[in-house]
Amino acid sequence: MLTREQIAARVARELKDGFYVNLGIGLPTLVANYIPDGVEVVLQSENGLLGIGPFPFAGDEDPDLINAGKQTVTEIKGSSYFSSADSFAMIRGGKIDLSVLGALQISHKKGEPRGDLANWMVPGKMVKGMGGAMDLVAGTKRVIIAMEHVAKGEAKIVKECTLPLTGKGVVDTIVTDLAYMDVTPEGIVVRELAPGVTKHELVAQTKAPLLFAPDLQTMAV
């Protein structure tokens, strides 16, 4: 089983030089700590910044410079600022190469190229809102879900999402503490298993059919 940091590190290996990337709040944010050497990426913050830098040194915090999680951040050389309308133009317009988000539930319908995602609402419970998640999944070129495979004993990869959807046909890849999986029209294909995890264990913790890649690998961590 992978730690949260190891999940983030595995996702980071999907980053390519020149990518513009949006990282969601929580686990996805950790991906920024594992950007491979020699790979230059620009991190987008949907409140209006291209080029998120590390947290500021104590005393240098600027209330006018925050990320989408409302955390104080810094800008890198080559950054730009813009309005929320411009920010979502680049998101919806497919200019952002990759979006990494968390999930409450994921499902896939055979024949569809991508998976369905629910990550914004539990009816009758929290009233928080979808923020930018619906726009991000609707417009970004590739969507990777980074999450723990099960939550409180409940499978999150299911036959059909029962929670309200964030997007229909939007998920390309799923990276969990147990496996790396790609969504394909044929089904969810397991390409890598985390070290020490068996096919049997993975299937037992998943409530949707899984296919195993012919060249199934053990994930390098």
* Positions marked active-site: 46
What's the closest the beta carbon of residue 18 comes to another protein, in angstroms? 23
158 binds another protein (CB under 8 A): no
112 binds another protein (CB under 8 A): no
What's the closest the beta carbon of residue 194 comes to another protein, in angstroms? 29
Contact 102, 27 (CB under 8 A): yes
Pick the stretch among 4-12, 159-167, 181-189, 200-208 that binds another protein (CB under 8 A): 159-167
What's the closest the beta carbon of residue 202 comes to another protein, in angstroms? 28
Task: Please say which residue, 33 or 198, places its beta carbon nearer to another protein.
Answer: 33
115 binds another protein (CB under 8 A): no
Could you write out the DSSP letters of every residue in 39-52?
---EEEETTTEEEE
Number of neighbouring beta carbons within 10 Å of residue 42:
18
- The helix (H) or strand (E) run that includes residue 12 is helix 4-12
Pick the stretch among 3-11, 39-47, 145-153, 194-202 that binds another protein (CB under 8 A): 39-47
Q: What is the DSSP letter of 69?
A: T
139 binds another protein (CB under 8 A): yes
135 binds another protein (CB under 8 A): yes
Exactly one of 13, 34, 35, 69 binds another protein (CB under 8 A); which one? 69
Q: What is the DSSP letter of 157?
A: B
Strand partners, 144: 100, 173
Task: Please say which residue, 33 or 217, places its beta carbon nearer to another protein.
Answer: 33
Cα separation, 125 vs 87, whole angstroms: 30
Residue 126 is encoded by which pair of tokens?
């929290």
Backbone angles phi, psi at 201, to 5 degrees: -60, -40
Contact 41, 35 (CB under 8 A): yes
167 binds another protein (CB under 8 A): yes
CA 123 centroid distance within chain: 23
What's the closest the beta carbon of residue 199 comes to another protein, in angstroms? 32
What's the closest the beta carbon of residue 173 comes to another protein, in angstroms? 20
Q: What is the DSSP letter of 158?
A: B
Exactly one of 166, 173, 205, 206 binds another protein (CB under 8 A); which one? 166
Contact 178, 1 (CB under 8 A): yes
Residues that bind another protein (CB under 8 A): 45-49, 54-58, 60-73, 75, 81-85, 87-88, 91-92, 116, 126-135, 138-139, 164-169
